[in-house]
Chain A
Amino acid sequence: MSRVRGTWRRLFTRTDRNATDTPVDERTLFAMATVIFLVQFPHLFHLPIWVSLLGGGLVGLRLWHHHAPHHKSLALVLSPVTVTLIAATAAVLLRLDYGYAVGRDPCVALLFVLVAAKFSEIRRASDATVLLCLSAFLLLTQYFYSQTILTALITLPEIVAMAFAMAVVRDPHNPATNAQQLRLVGKLLIQGLPLAAVLFVLFPRLPGPLWSLPEDALARTGLSDSMSPGSIGSLSKSNEVAFRVEFDGPPPPPHARYWRGPVLTEFDGRNWTVSEQNTAATPWHPPDAKVYDYTVMLQPHRLRWLFALDSAASLPRADQGANTDTPILGQLMADRQLIANAPVTSVLRYRQSSVLSNAMMPAHAPRASTLQLPGKNPKAIAFAEDLREQSTSDLDYAQRVLRHFNRDTFRYTLQPQLLGDAPVDEFLFDSKAGFCEHYSAAFVVMMRAADIPARVVTGYLGGEMNGDYMIVRQADAHAWAEAFIDGVWRRFDPTGQVAPSRVEQGLSAALPTESAVPSFARMDAGWLRSARLRWDALNHQWQRLVVDFDNDSQKSLWERLGLINPSLVHIVVLAMALSLAWGLFLFGMPSLNRSGLSRDEALWHRLCRLLSLNGFPRVPGESAAEYLQRVSGEWPRQRARLRMLSHDFTTLRFRRTDDTQAQRTRARIQRELLTLALGIRVNRWQRTRRPVANAEHA
C-alpha cells in the first residue's frame, strides 16, 4: 500500500505556533461553514423553527460579513458582545419554549444555537479549533434522536468535512488543492476505519444506565395501560415497529400470533385500565404442549410491558447466546402478562418461551373487579341478562354473544362514529360499527352482565415474516377478550366474528377500502413494500450487530475467543497488537526494508554500515573489491573473513548464479556478517569501557 504523501501537517507537532493566532482565512472559513451546515442539517427536522432560523441566520450573517467586511452594522451584530447577548437570549427563550431546561431537547437546541453563535464570531484559527470540537459534539447529539443506519450514513459526510476542516485549520497555506486535500483526508479516514472497528469491538463497554438517554428522548408510541374507544384505532395508523422476533423454529400460523400485552380489568363505563392488585405467578404449561422459543427485540416504549406470544411458558431472560443462567428481566403476573423490572427505555432483547392455548388455568380465583360494572350501559346489561336466560350454559351464552356480532349488521371499521357517555350501548344498538376495542369491550361488558368474570386483553395480533425474523408493528395492535368459564380463562375474539380476515390475514385484508389504514399494512404495495422490508432487515441487522453491541455481547465475544473475563491489560494488548498489525500492513515493515533495495544489496549495505561503524568508511569512487581489500589491509585480523566476503559478494551481486548457489552464498554471507557484527559490537564495548576503568583507577 502506498504511503500517504505529505500534504498533512503533523498533528502533534505544532511547528507553526503562529498558525493558531493568525486571522482566519477564507479557506478555513468556508471549510468550517461546510462543517456547520452539514452538522446543523439533520437537527432542523426536530428543532423549533425559530431555533433553526436563528442558527442558520447566524452562519449566513458571518459569511455575508466575510463578503462585505466594511459593513459597519454587520460587524456590530457579529461582535462578541452582541453574539453573547443573542446566545443568552436564546437560552432563556428555549427554557420558555420547552418549559424545562435540563433534558435532551432544550440542551441540544442550546448547543445548536451556541455552535452557530461561535461560528458567527469566528476571528482566529484557534476559534476554529474550538468550533470543531463543538461541532463534533453537536454531531454526536444526532444519535440521541435516532440510531438507525440512516443516521450513521448521514454522519459520514459530516465526518469527512470535519477532517477536511481540521487539515485546513492546521495548515491553511498548504498549496494542495481542495480535491487533493479531500483525497488525502479520505485516505486517512479509510486507513483509520479498521482501528475504529477494533476500538468498537474491544473498548470496554460501560454497562447500564450511564449511556441511557434523558427521559424526554424517547418517543411514546405503543399500547398504554388504558383503553378507550378509538385508542387502538389511532395506533393502527402507525407504521412503527413495535418489536421484532426471531423464532428458534418455525413461527406459529398467522391466526395464532396473539402477542399478549396489558390486561385491562377496571372499567368505569368508558375507559378500561389495568388492575392495581396484581400478584406474581410462576410460569407453567402443560407438559405435552408445543413450546415456541424465540427472542424478542422490543422497541423502547418507556413502560414496563413485555410482550410474549399467547401464554408465556418462561420468564423473560437476557439474551446471551447459549448461556442459560442469565438475568431475569421481568416477572409473570397472575393475569399472565409480563412486567419488566424497569421501564423499557432502550431496545430490549430477551429470550422467551410460549405455548399456544386459548384456555388458561387461573393462578387464583377471579377477583371481584373482573365482574364489576359501573352500570352506565343499561341497555347492554338488559340485553345480556335476556340472552343469558335463553342460554343453557356460560359457554353457550358466550357463543350466542359472538353469534350476535356475527349475524347482526355489525361493521368493522377504523373510523367509527364518536360515542357518548354510554359507549357500549351506543355501539351495540345504534352505530354497530367499530374497531377491535369496541367489540372486545362490548363482549366483556356482556359477559360481566351475565355474572361471568371477563377482562379485556390488549396486545398485537399478527406479525410479518421478513426473512428469518418477524416484524410486529403498531398497526398490528389488537384487543380481545377473556372470560372465566368452567374454571379456565378462555380467549374470545369478537372481532373475528365480524371480520374474520383481520385474524387470518391482518388489518389491510379486513379493511380493504379504508384509506386510514397505513399504506404499509397493505399487501399489494409491490416493489416499494419489498424494498421497505429489505430496508427493515438491514436496520434490524444494524440494531442487532452495532447498536445492541453492549457489555454482554462483548463478554460473549471474549468467551468465543477463549478469554473468560479478560483484564484491561489483555484488552489493551490485543487492541495494540491489532493496531500494530494494521499499521504494518499500511506502511510496510519499517525497520526491515525501507530502502527498497534487493535482498543482496541490503546485505552489502549492511556490511558497509558495519565497517564504517568500525572506522572504515567507504571512499567515493572505490569499488566493492577495492574497499574490502583496503579494509583488510588496515584490519589484518579480519583479512581472511573480508577476503571471503569480497569473493562471496562478487559472486552474489555481479555473477550469473543459479538459485541454490545464490542461497548457499547468501547464507554464508549472513553468517559471516553476524560474526563480524558481534565482533565489532564487542570491540566498541571494550573501547568504551576502557576509559571508564582507567578513570576508576585514577
Chain B
Amino acid sequence: MRRYTLIGPPDQAMNATAAALNPFDIPASQQLVDVLDQLDRVLIGKREQVTLALACLLGRGHLLIEDVPGVGKTTLAHALSATLGLDWTRVQFTSDLLPADVVGVSVLDTRDNRFQFREGPVFTPILLADEINRAPPRAQSALLEAMEERQVTVDGTTYPLDPGFFVIATQNPADQQGAYPLPQSQLDRFLVGIEIGYPDAASERALLEHGDTRRNATQLDSLLDEERLAQLRDACDAVYVSAPVLDYLQALIQATRAVGTGLSPRAGLSLVRLSRAYALIAQRDHVLPEDVRAVFPALAGHRLTGQVQSGQARAREILDQVAMP
C-alpha cells in the first residue's frame, strides 16, 4: 500500500501517539490518503487543490473556487461527492434567481388546506453553487445564511440542513460584467478559497489521452460514508497545536493587519481548524508550521482582497515576511 505524506516519513512513535489520541486507527486514517489518491486520478495534477478542498470539508467549512470555466470545478464536486459517498445538488446562479429557488418554498396543499414546505436544493450534503456572483444579493445571502447557520427559516419555521452541509461555490473572476461580487463579510463564510488553474503540460497530456474525466467521476467507488466523515471531523479537533505554532498563527494574522483590512479573529480560528484538518490528512496528530504555511494563502486570499488570485499573492508575501518558528 502506498503511503503518501506531504512533509516527510511519519515515524513509529508518532503513529503510536496518533492511535492513542484519535478515535480511529492509523489504517483508517490511511483512508484519507486513499481518498486523495482517487481524487488525484480524476483531477490530474491538482493534488494541492484537492488536498485543500478535502481539508476544507474536514474542517467543517465551505469552499470557494475562483476560476475560468472548464478547468474542472464541477469535476471536483462530482469526484468529492462520489468518493465520500454523499449526495450532491447543483444550482446554477443566475441574475433572476430567487431565495426560494435556493432554500425551498411553502405551497398550499389543497387537499387539507395546509401549507407544505417543499425543500429547495440546499437540503443536500454537498451543494455546488455555480457562478455565485451572478445571482443578486438576495439569493446570495439566502445561501450564505444557510452556510453559516446550517439551517434555513421559511415562513417562521426553521428547518435544519444536513449536519455535514458543504458548499462548493464557484465564481468567474474574468467576467465581472453584470455580476454581484460577494461582499467581504460573506467571503469570510468561505473557509477556503482556491484557484484550480490550468493543468501542467504532463497532466494535460494525460487528460487528453484518457478522455473526459467527468464521466469517470460518476463511476468512482465511495471510500467513506457520512458516519465515517463525522468521525474524521471529530478527529480533526483532537490534533495538537503547540505553543510555537500558535505564536506563528498569531504572528501571521497580525501581519495581515499591517496594511488595510486584515484577518478577523474568526478567520484566525478558521486558520487553526484548517491547519488541523491539513495535518490530519498528512497523517499527523500535531500541526507543523508547514501545515499553517500550506493552508494560509487558501484561507487568507479571498478574505484579504476579495479575489482569490490577488489575495493569495498578498498572503504569500506575508508568509515570506513572518519568520517561521
Contact = CB atoms under 8 A, between A and B. Distances in A.
User: Real complex partners, A and B?
Assistant: yes
A620 B288 contact: no
Contact of A653 (B8, B11, B13, B325): B325
Interface string A615-631: 00010111111100000
B181 interface: no
Interface residues of A, number: 19
A654 B320 contact: no
A647 interface: yes
Contact of A620 (B14, B287, B320): B320
A628 to B, nearest CB: 11
Given A598-B243, A601-B244, A656 B286 contact: yes
Given A653-B242, A655-B240, A656-B240, A624 B289 contact: yes
A621 B14 contact: no
A541 interface: no
B14 A624 contact: no
A341 interface: no
B290 interface: yes
Contacts of B244: 600-601, 653-654
Contacts of B325: 601, 604, 624, 653
A655 B14 contact: yes
Contact of A650 (B240, B285, B288, B324): B288
Interface string B279-292: 00000011111100
Contacts of A623: 288-290, 293, 324
B321 A620 contact: yes
A600 B285 CA distance: 20
B11 A625 contact: no
Contacts of B289: 623-624, 654
B4 to A, nearest CB: 17
B319 A625 contact: no
Contacts of A598: 243
A621 B324 contact: yes
A624 B324 contact: yes
B17 interface: yes
Contacts of A600: 244
Contacts of B323: 618, 620
B320 A625 contact: no
A601 B242 CA distance: 12
Interface string A646-680: 01001101111000000000000000000000000
A654 B245 contact: yes
Nearest to A618: B323
B280 to A, nearest CB: 14
A527 to B, nearest CB: 61
A600 B325 CA distance: 11
B269 interface: no
- Could you say which of B8, B244, B293, B321 has the most chain A C-beta atoms within 10 Å of its C-beta? B244
Given A601-B244, A622-B324, A654 B287 contact: yes
Chain A facing B: main interface SS: helix
Interface in A579-627: 598, 600-601, 604, 618, 620-626
Contacts of A654: 242, 244-245, 286-289
A621 B245 contact: no
Contacts of B319: 621
Given A601-B244, A621-B324, A656 B293 contact: no
Nearest to A658: B17
Contacts of B154: none
B321 A625 contact: no
A601 B323 CA distance: 13
Contacts of A625: 7-8, 288, 290
A598 B325 CA distance: 12
Contacts of A650: 288
Query: Interface centre among B240, B245, B324, by most A CB within 10 Å?
Result: B324
Nearest to A608: B323
B271 to A, nearest CB: 16
Interface in B2-26: 7-8, 11, 13-14, 17, 21
A651 B242 CA distance: 10
Given A620-B320, A623-B289, A655 B242 contact: yes
Nearest to B320: A621
B17 to A, nearest CB: 7
A606 to B, nearest CB: 14
Which of A604, A620, A621, A625 has most B Cβ within 10 Å? Answer: A621
B288 A656 contact: no
Contacts of A601: 244, 325
A618 to B, nearest CB: 8
A655 B11 CA distance: 12
Contacts of A604: 325
A431 B106 CA distance: 130
A651 B288 CA distance: 10
Nearest to B247: A601
A624 B290 CA distance: 9
B227 to A, nearest CB: 27
Nearest to A657: B17
Nearest to B316: A621
Nearest to B318: A621
A65 to B, nearest CB: 54
B7 A655 contact: no
Nearest to A656: B240
The CB with the most chain A CB atoms within 10 A, among B17, B21, B319, is that of: B17
Nearest to B20: A656
A625 B9 CA distance: 12
B65 to A, nearest CB: 26
A597 to B, nearest CB: 10
Contacts of A651: 13
B184 to A, nearest CB: 27
A656 B239 CA distance: 9
Contacts of B14: 655
A131 B14 CA distance: 73
Nearest to B244: A653
B249 to A, nearest CB: 12
A606 B285 CA distance: 27
A323 B244 CA distance: 64
Contacts of B13: 651
Contacts of B17: 655-656
Contacts of A626: 290
A147 B323 CA distance: 62
A327 B321 CA distance: 78
Nearest to B241: A654
A487 to B, nearest CB: 97
B324 to A, nearest CB: 5
10 contacts: A618-B323, A623-B324, A625-B288, A653-B325, A654-B287, A655-B14, A655-B240, A656-B21, A656-B242, A656-B285
Interface of A: 598, 600-601, 604, 618, 620-626, 647, 650-651, 653-656
Q: Which 5 A-B pairs have the closest CB atoms?
A: A656-B240, A621-B320, A654-B242, A655-B286, A623-B290
Given A621-B320, A623-B290, A624-B324, 4 more contacts: A600-B244, A623-B289, A656-B21, A656-B286
